[in-house]
Amino acid sequence: MSRGFVKEDDAQTPPIVPPRAALPPGTPNYVTPSGLEQLRIELAELEATRPAADADHTNDTDRTYRLSLLNGRHALLAERLASARVVDPTTQPPGEVRFGAAVTLRTVQGGRAGFERTFTIVGVDEADIAQGKVGFVAPIARAVQGVKLGQKVTLHLGPQAEVVEVTAISYN
Q: What is the pLDDT of residue 91?
A: 94
Cβ count near 11 (within 10 Å): 9
Q: What is the pLDDT of residue 17?
A: 85
Reply yes or no on whether the pLDDT at 14 is more than 90: no
33 CB-near residues (< 8 Å, 6+ apart): 86, 88
**Which range marks the domain in which residue 99 is found?**
91-170
Residue type at position 148: K
Mean pLDDT, to the nearest integer, of 140-167? Answer: 94
At 130-147, the pLDDT tens digits run 999 999 999 999 999 999
Q: Binning pLDDT at 50, 70 and 90, where does residue 9 land?
A: low
Rounded CA-CA distance 89/100 in Å is 5
Reply yes or no on whether the pLDDT at 124 is more than 70: yes
Sign of CA dihedral 72, 78, 84, 89: positive
When mean pLDDT is compared across 50-64, 91-105, 122-136, the lowest value belongs to: 50-64
Global confidence as pTM: 0.84
Vertex 136 angle, CA 102 and 167, to 5°: 30
Q: What is the pLDDT of residue 52?
A: 82
Q: Is residue 13 in a domain?
A: no
Last residue of a domain, one of 62, 86, 110: 86
Mean pLDDT, to the nearest integer, of 116-127? Answer: 97
Which residue did the predictor score with more confidence, 30 or 5? Answer: 30
Q: What percent of the chain has pLDDT over 70?
A: 93
* 129 and 77 within one domain: no
* 165 and 97 within one domain: yes
* 104 and 40 within one domain: no
Alpha-carbon separation of residue 24 from 27, 28, 92, 114, 139 (angstroms): 6, 9, 23, 33, 12
Total structural domains within the chain: 2
Q: What is the pLDDT of residue 87?
A: 96
